Amino acid sequence: MSLIVKTVTRVTIGIIFLFGGYIVAHGHLTPGGGFAGGVILALAYVLYVLAYGEKETRERLSMKWASIIESLGGLLFLFLAVLGLAGGYFFLNVLPKGTPGDIFSAGIIPLCNLAIMFKVGAGLFAVFLVLVTFRVAARKEEEE
């Protein structure tokens, strides 16, 4: 891709990341949440792949790390669910609820959003990357 595309991408990706983070952090206050935010983060990486190519993206976030982050996100979510057992029930919202309207309120909800964000973002990024890589690998096979 041309230099203009690359430069614009570099600038916009920062903004997209910030927006995704905002959506996740305010998931319990405003529309959005972990899932939407995670997809937005994945889209930022998709943009990066489209502008810079698959190879350069892998240097930023390799498949291995994407998969590890995804698993850890899942485990964190499950841990929050099991944490409820401390209060007697699976998935009980055990953390203090705080003042409604604050970022740190609503107990486990923001933490769950965070876990989902990691999981969804890394997972969808991995899917997209493997779809692209598969095309590249398949084309190489054909040429040989």
Partner 1 sequence: MFVYLSCVVLLLVGIYCVAVKKNLIKIIIGIGIMEYAVNLFLVILGYRQGGTAPIIQPGAANPILVDPLPQALVLTAIVIGLATTAMMVAIAMRIYNCYGTFDITKIRKLKG
Partner 2 sequence: MLELNLLLVFMVVGAIIAVENHNLLSSVIAVGAVGFGLCVVFLLLGAPDLAITQLVVEILALVILIRATIAKTVPETYKGRELLAYGVTIIFVLVFGAFSYFALKYLPEFGAPLMKVSKTYLEEGLKKTGALNLVAAIILDFRGYDTLGEASILFTAVIGTLAILRLKGRKQEKETDELDS
Partner 3 sequence: MINFLPMFVAVPLGAAFLMPLLYKIDRRLTDLLGNLTTFYLLAASLALYFFLPADHLMIYRVGGWAPPVGIILVLDGLSHFLLLTVNLIAALATLYSISYMNLYTSRGKYYTLFMLMVAGMNGVVLTGDLFNLFVFLEIAAIASYALVAFGCESEELEASFKYLVMGSVASTLVLFGIALLYGLTGTLNMADIARSLPANAGAARALITVLFLMGFGMKSAMVPFHAWLPDAHPSAPAPISAMLSGVLIKALGVYALVRILFNVLGMTPQLSYILMVLGTLSLLGGVLLAIGQWDLKRLLAYHSISQIGYVILGIGLATPLGIMGGLFHLFNHALFKSLLFLNAGSVEYRVGTRELKEMGGLAKKMPVTWATSLMASLSISGLPPFNGFWSKLFIILACVQAGRLWFALAAVIGSLLTLASFLKVQKYAFFERLPSRLEAVKEAPWIMGAAMIVLAGLCLSVGILFPYLITFLVNPAAAAVLNGTGYSRLILGGL
Residues forming contacts to partner 2 in the complex (CB under 8 A) are 23, 27-33, 35-36, 39-40, 42-43, 46, 50, 67, 70, 74, 77-78, 81, 90-91, 93, 97-98, 100-101, 105-109, 112-113, 116, 119-120, 123-124, 126-128, 130-135, 137
Between CA 117 and CA 35 the distance in angstroms is 6
| Part of the chain binding partner 3 (CB under 8 A), chosen from 6-14, 29-37, 68-76, 98-106 | 68-76
Question: Is 35 an interacting residue with respect to partner 1 (CB under 8 A)?
Answer: yes
Nearer to partner 3, 5 or 136 (CB): 136
Sign of CA dihedral 144, 62, 75, 98: negative
Q: Apex CA 86: angle with CA 84 and CA 87, to 5°?
A: 70
The CA dihedral of 78, 80, 81, 82, to the nearest 10 degrees, is: 90
Min dist CB 116 to partner 2, Å, is: 6
Contacts of 19 (CB under 8 A, 6+ apart): 40
Closer to partner 2 by Cβ: residue 8 or 74: 74
The dihedral through the CA atoms of 99, 103, 108, 110 has a sign that is positive
Tell me if 93 contacts partner 3 by CB under 8 A. yes
Residues that bind partner 1 (CB under 8 A): 29-31, 33, 35, 100-101, 127, 131, 134-135, 138
